[in-house]
Structure 1
Amino acid sequence: MSLLTGLTARRTRREAEYVEYVVARQGQLRRIAYAICGDWHQADDLLQVALTKLYVVWPQVRMNENPDAYVRQILVRTNIDEHRTRLRRPQTVELDEGMDATAPTGIGPEERSELFDALQGMPEMQRKVVVLRHWLGLDVQETADELGISTGTVKSHTSRGLEALRALLEQTT
């Protein structure tokens, strides 16, 4: 086997592993992106950016890191960057028809819609912390690492965010 053939075979294997990962995780990653930004179109854009960045570093990530954590970090940081470069506009929340209404929270579509509406009424950083901590189940340190903030800030945003979320959910009932 020639050197060129060996390199081509390795590249093909890496690309196949990348495609397999994306196909398996795309739906969940899209829902995470939506939970972070609150808009399906923006979530699709965020996911596209994240998957493009993942493709570039796939050989390193698949060997040394957790790809899910890497993609979540890209999603959060890309969303933060977008907010820094444009003015905030009011957003409306729409439940995507293709979305699995019971995953991962185990609640029905109506309650889930109310939850997403309430999440969008929260301040941005509180929303991100609550999503990472309580929807994705990350611990305080993992959340701090993904958002680039201290653990104390994660704890205060979690406390305030849950309080705000409870108040917003009580308003809808």
Structure 2
Amino acid sequence: MRRRQQHPRATLPPAPGATPTGPLAGANPADLEREAGVARLFALHYSSMLRLAVLLGADDPENVVAEAYYRIYRRWRRLKDVAAAEAHLRSTVCDLTRMRIRHLQVARRHEEHPARPTDETVASAENTALLRDDQRVLIDALQQLPARQREALVLRHWLGLKESEIAAAMGITRGSVKTHTSRGIAALTQAMEARR
């Protein structure tokens, strides 16, 4: 005789003001605040952080963003201003993307055999082919820029951040932001004109 397999019952989240049950029952109020704060941050900014990682050239943007949220979760109690969590998250995505790109560059230098195309490469090629020609040229030119110039341009023109916010995200001065932005624009303009 076969036993019926028991499936866990779905539970709804408690109503506002209700006492939590289950894993959060008896939880520290600071833990509940952290859970709610990170959940809010995720709901509000996940898509923009994912776009940021993609535009900065991350080969695995979902993992970069997931790691950034994990780091925010771990540091939540140490954040002096919870309202500044978005800026901290943005800075973490920039740092993790930069580290990931450096790691891949080193790994590729030491690779003995070039990697064969995978299904992901083919899917990526199909997506690229669907982009309009001018978009493809712009994205290719953007990917050829030095990392700092690319970061400054993406933060400024795709996310619309102010110089002070860009400086905080990149960990540089406002003057350096201006320098990287102007050099990046000049290089992009030259690349776009050369391909026309």
TM-score, length-scaled by structure 1: 0.72
Report the Cα distance in structure 2 between the residues aligned to 1:86 and 1:24, rounded to whole angstroms: 30
Matching residue of 1:73: 91
Q: Trace 1:143-162 onto structure 2 (pairs within 5 A).
A: 143-162=166-185
Q: Trace 1:114-153 onto structure 2 (pairs within 5 A).
A: 114-153=137-176
- 2:175 is matched by which residue type in structure 1? G
Cα gap change, 1:8/1:87 in structure 2, threshold over 3 Å: closer, same or farther? same
Cα gap change, 1:96/1:145 in structure 2, threshold over 3 Å: closer, same or farther? farther
Cα gap change, 1:118/1:128 in structure 2, threshold over 3 Å: closer, same or farther? same
Report the Cα distance in structure 1 between the residues aligned to 2:155 and 2:39, rounded to whole angstroms: 25
Q: Trace 1:75-114 onto structure 2 (pairs within 5 A).
A: 75-85=93-103, 87=105, 89=108, 94=124, 109-110=131-132, 111-114=134-137
Is the partner of 1:160 in helix, strand or coil? Answer: helix
Q: Confirm or deny: 8 A CA contact 1:38 1:120 kept in the other structure.
A: no
Q: Please point out which of 44, 47, 65 is paired with 1:27.
A: 47
Cα gap change, 1:65/1:170 in structure 2, threshold over 3 Å: closer, same or farther? same
- 1:23 is matched by which residue type in structure 2? A
Q: How many residues get paired?
A: 157
Matching residue of 2:5: none
Matching residue of 1:169: 192
Higher helix share: 1
Could you tell me which runs of 5 or more consecutive residues in structure 2 were left unpaired when the two chains were aligned: 1-18, 110-120
Q: Confirm or deny: 8 A CA contact 1:95 1:113 kept in the other structure.
A: no
Q: Confirm or deny: 8 A CA contact 2:58 2:64 kept in the other structure.
A: no
Report the Cα distance in structure 2 between the residues aligned to 1:63 and 1:9, rounded to whole angstroms: 18
Q: Confirm or deny: 8 A CA contact 1:121 1:168 kept in the other structure.
A: no
Is the partner of 2:27 in helix, strand or coil? Answer: helix
- 2:158 is matched by which residue type in structure 1? W
Q: Which has the larger radius of gyration?
A: 2
TM-score, length-scaled by structure 2: 0.65
Identity over aligned residues, as a percent? 30
Shift of 1:127: 0.6
- 1:145 is matched by which residue type in structure 2? A
Matching residue of 1:7: 27
Report the Cα distance in structure 1 between the residues aligned to 2:63 and 2:183, rounded to whole angstroms: 29
Could you tell me which runs of 5 or more consecutive residues in structure 1 were left unpaired when the two chains were aligned: 98-107
Report the Cα distance in structure 2 between the residues aligned to 1:96 and 1:133, rounded to whole angstroms: 28
